[in-house]
């Protein structure tokens, strides 16, 4: 049987071969020396593509420490390969407890970073609360996702954000291709792996018709599902209707749904009721 670390190395190599834009960026940043001696602490989903990002930043001159931004998304084979074959400091394992999750975020911060890369806002929030001693050295950061940006904008409007953060999600290339097409595909992939059910002919309810929700709905429809949308924003609800979907409140849709996916960034969209 293939060992985890070998599987991880293969995944990393496959991803690297498909990341040609990053290759160009890596080469130009390395040549310019912009990252020489820069300490980067990053909390991202730990999987092959972000692994290649971490290795690229290191190759371009930075010292990189990596943890997960989500206790459930780590690809353990990749994390192991990054540690054992590439010598990258990665602190993450799939299914880690909340305590382990925060311990790992703290471990990557111990290097007194110059730059923070975050996905969801937990790492930046930690620096602004229990690790405020690090604020003096931090030059700036980047935040990946919609929910993280919402949290950071709230901090900014209260005057509580203490270093500049680049909103990666605002790039059209990000929210169009990652949120819509990337999440659209990977959600269906995860659902199929978890349930081993056929999507075709099923009633498929999507909560939220934003960038991710539109992608998920589009892919489910393409696979033959009867897609319904639940959306609180009336304009997006009309958009869903005009895209050909039935739009209805969650508590009505869920009565006939075989699959329910929420893509809202909010809690309790499906509640006990
Ligand atoms: N895991 C990943 O790889 C990944 C990638 C991209 C985005 N995300 C996350 O996915 C979530 C959605 O991102 P997005 O870019 O689609 O956001 P978005 O703001 O474009 O869309 C969210 C939609 O949900 C709707 N909504 C909010 N509360 C609702 C409720 N209770 N019921 C029904 N609809 C509701 C909003 O009106 C909005 O239209 C965010 O949390 C984001 O951070 C995850």
pLDDT tens-digit profile, the chain (273 residues) = 688 999 999 999 999 999 999 999 999 999 999 999 999 999 999 999 999 999 999 999 999 999 999 999 999 999 999 999 999 999 999 999 999 999 999 999 999 999 999 999 999 999 999 999 999 999 999 999 999 999 999 999 999 999 999 999 999 999 999 999 999 999 999 999 999 999 999 999 999 999 999 999 999 999 999 999 999 999 999 999 999 999 999 999 999 999 999 999 999 999 988
Q: Is 207 in the pocket of ligand 1 (CB under 6 A)?
A: yes
CA atoms within 13 A on the CB side of 33: 0
Segments making up each domain of the chain, as ranges: 4-170, 178-262
Kindly tell me the sign of the dihedral angle through the C-alpha atoms of 124, 129, 131, 133.
positive
Find all residues with CB under 8 Å of 257, minimum gap 6, and list them.
203, 204, 205, 228
pLDDT for the residue 190: 94
* DSSP code for 133: G
Ligand 1, residues 239, 264, 270: which to mutate, most atoms within 8 A of Cβ?
A: 264
The yes/no answer on whether domain 178-262 falls in CATH 3.40.50.1580 is no
Task: Please indicate whether residue 50, judged by its CB atom, sits closer than 6 Å to ligand 1.
Answer: no
| Atom number, ligand 1, closest to the C-alpha of residue 149 | 43
> Residue 176's CB: how many other CB atoms inside 10 A?
13
pTM for the full predicted model:
0.91
Instruction: Mark out the alpha helices in the chain (DSSP H runs).
Output: 4-17, 20-32, 48-59, 76-84, 98-109, 122-127, 146-157, 172-174, 183-195, 211-222, 234-242, 250-256
- pLDDT score for 113: 98
Among 212, 230, 239, 251, which is best to mutate for testing ligand 1, by the most ligand atoms less than 8 A from CB? 212
- 265 in contact with ligand 1, CB cutoff 6 A: yes
What is residue 273's predicted lDDT score, i.e. its pLDDT? Answer: 86
- Domain 4-170 bears CATH identifier 3.90.1150.10: no
Question: What distance in Å separates the CA atoms of residue 133 and residue 127, rounded to the nearest whole number?
Answer: 8
Q: Is 147 in the pocket of ligand 1 (CB under 6 A)?
A: yes
């Amino acid at each position: 049987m293939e060992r985890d670390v070998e599987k991880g190395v293969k995944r990393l190599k496959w991803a690297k071969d498909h990341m040609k834009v990053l290759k160009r960026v890596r080469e130009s940043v390395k040549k310019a020396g912009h990252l020489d001696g820069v300490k980067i602490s990053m909390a991202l989903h730990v999987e092959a593509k972000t692994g290649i990002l971490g290795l690229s930043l290191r190759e371009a001159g930075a010292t990189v420490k990596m943890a997960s931004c989500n206790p459930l998304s780590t690809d353990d084979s990749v994390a192991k390969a990054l540690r054992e074959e590439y010598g990258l400091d990665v602190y993450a394992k799939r299914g880690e407890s909340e305590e382990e999750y925060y311990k790992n975020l703290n471990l990557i911060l111990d290097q007194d970073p110059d730059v923070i890369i975050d996905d969801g806002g937990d790492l930046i929030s930690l620096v602004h609360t229990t690790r405020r001693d690090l604020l003096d050295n931090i030059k700036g950061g980047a935040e990946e996702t919609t929910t993280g940006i919402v949290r950071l904008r709230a901090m900014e409007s209260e005057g509580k954000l203490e270093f500049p953060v680049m909103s990666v999600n605002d790039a059209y290339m990000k929210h169009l291709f990652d949120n819509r097409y990337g999440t659209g595909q990977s959600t269906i992939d995860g659902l199929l792996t978890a349930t081993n059910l056929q999507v075709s002919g099923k009633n498929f309810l999507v909560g939220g018709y934003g960038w991710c929700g539109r992608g998920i709905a589009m892919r489910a429809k393409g696979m033959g599902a009867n897609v319904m949308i639940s959306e609180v924003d009336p304009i997006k609800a009309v958009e869903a209707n005009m895209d050909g979907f039935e739009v209805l409140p969650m508590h009505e849709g869920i009565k006939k749904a075989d699959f329910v996916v929420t893509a809202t960034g909010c809690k309790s969209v499906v509640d006990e009721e």
